[in-house]
Amino acid sequence: MGVDIAQAALMSGRAVVATGRNTDAVADAIGEADHLLVVGLDVTSLASAETAVQATLDRFGRIDVLVNNAGNFHAGFFEELTPEQIEQQLMTSLIGPMNVTRAVLPVMRKQRSGKIVSISSTAGIVGQEFCSAYAASKFGLEGWMESLRYEVEPFGIRTTIVEPGFFRTTLLEKESTTYAELSIDDYAERTAQTRPAWEAMSGKQGGDPSQAREGSGHRRRRGAAAAALGCRR
């Protein structure tokens, strides 16, 4: 999803800063362009976010749009997920966007303009079994973004929450999905049925990630064709 939108932004003549922990993989996925900067970023580290922001300012001098699009999926029943797995989920999908936004906001406040887009999920509005950790991170993201709206609007900063349905992203691939480490007898039968079903969905989701459009103002965009902006997911 992020790759498609980054490429679309480049094609429209906009400067793009594409971020990821593996910069070689990001560069290979997006390609080359005069107005593209690839920067290393671990969203779980505020220091890493601050370094990425400074690199952006050094190259382009300003930041007009921030897209919080990093994500992973810790799948499993709550009791079978370890506390460490739940913490990892929250660090990537909730604290991560907070870290990057915290690093960017001083720039946007100084400009008195900007836009913050955070990629949520239908799991941010409707919970379901096997998704308790993921839904917790997305419900938290929604509450934070809704509150942030009122805090930053006086500075000319707009916000958007995107709630996609199932897109054919890498979220369900082995690199992005981690299944519960623990095994509890009472959940065993349901786990044996549910995990293969999730694994079978990878690459077969109905949503096309290239169908992405930018929203405006603070609003939600929902459904399988909802917009998503960004450089990484």
DSSP characters over 23-85: HHHHHHHH---TTEEEEE--TT-HHHHHHHHHHHHHHHS---EEEE----EEEB-GGGS-HHH
* Region at 156 (left for phi over 0; alpha for psi -120 to 50; beta for the rest): left
Contacts of 200 (CB under 8 A, 6+ apart): none
Catalytic residue list: 120, 134, 138
